[in-house]
Amino acid sequence: MAIKKQAKPKKDESEVKENIQSQLLVPLDLYLKAGIHIGTKFKNKSIEEFIFKTKQNGLKIMDIEKINEKILLAAKLLSDYEPGEIILVCRRETGHKPVKKLAEITGMRCITGRYLPGTITNPEFSFFTEPKIMIVADPWHDKQAIKGAILSNIPVIGLLGTNNSTEYVDFAIPCNNKSKKSLPLVYYLLGREYLKLKGIIKSDEEYNFTLEDFTDENL
């Protein structure tokens, strides 16, 4: 007579939430408050794997666990480089302060506002620089910088909303890459994890910066 396997008891909602929380870089409520998971009504097929659900109004919602995982993996990728080898690019105004703050605390280079062609491709330019990896806040707005990265044969890490394409991006961080609350959180976490992985700080408690340090209250 076949022996029936006992069904495993189902985890209740609070247990599932606790398990998810233990793997996150910050409390789940902080991710939700920042709206890091909020997409647009448009969906690019290449970003489909990161979409958790579509609301009744058509708004796309991204998977917070996958966002969290990609932020951590991006920090690990960046930790293979020295600060001066990394360039941060952001044309979108809501990302200017967080990008500048990340550059300030880590020593990375940054370009906010308009990206000038030739910045990483023309040695005769006075502002010429030779990074080994680039981070862009939005592949569409920062497409001129990505063109330079392709010509210079350097990898690109891109923050991607649901309407962005992964084309020409070597490593994608799915997130709300438009919000004045979401972008500070992404760069805040990249800075903290990068400094830990480089051995500059040993714990979260040694990260002497707050999310407010990355947030532009004037926006």
pLDDT averaged over 10-residue windows placed end to end, the chain, 219 residues: 51 52 89 97 94 95 97 98 98 98 98 96 94 98 98 98 97 97 98 98 97 95
CATH code of the region 26-214: 3.40.50.10490
Distance (Å, rounded) from C-alpha 188 to C-alpha 61? 22
pLDDT at residue 17, as a whole number: 52
122 with 129: CB under 8 angstroms? no
Q: pTM for this structure?
A: 0.90
pLDDT at residue 1, as a whole number: 46
Distance (Å, rounded) from C-alpha 87 to C-alpha 136? 9
pLDDT at residue 6, as a whole number: 52
Which alpha helices (H) appear in the chain, and where do they start and end?
13-21, 28-34, 64-78, 96-106, 143-152, 182-197
pLDDT at residue 25, as a whole number: 97
pLDDT at residue 141, as a whole number: 97
Distance (Å, rounded) from C-alpha 194 to C-alpha 114? 26
**Sheet of 171-174: strands edge to edge?**
109-112, 86-90, 133-136, 156-160, 171-174
pLDDT at residue 23, as a whole number: 87
Distance (Å, rounded) from C-alpha 43 to C-alpha 32? 20
Distance (Å, rounded) from C-alpha 212 to C-alpha 53? 30
Token pair of 31 as six digits:
């991710």
Q: Which residues contact 198 (CB under 8 A, 6 or more apart)?
A: 79
pLDDT at residue 10, as a whole number: 55
Can you point out the beta strands (E) in 24-152?
51-54, 60-62, 86-90, 109-112, 133-136
pLDDT at residue 3, as a whole number: 47
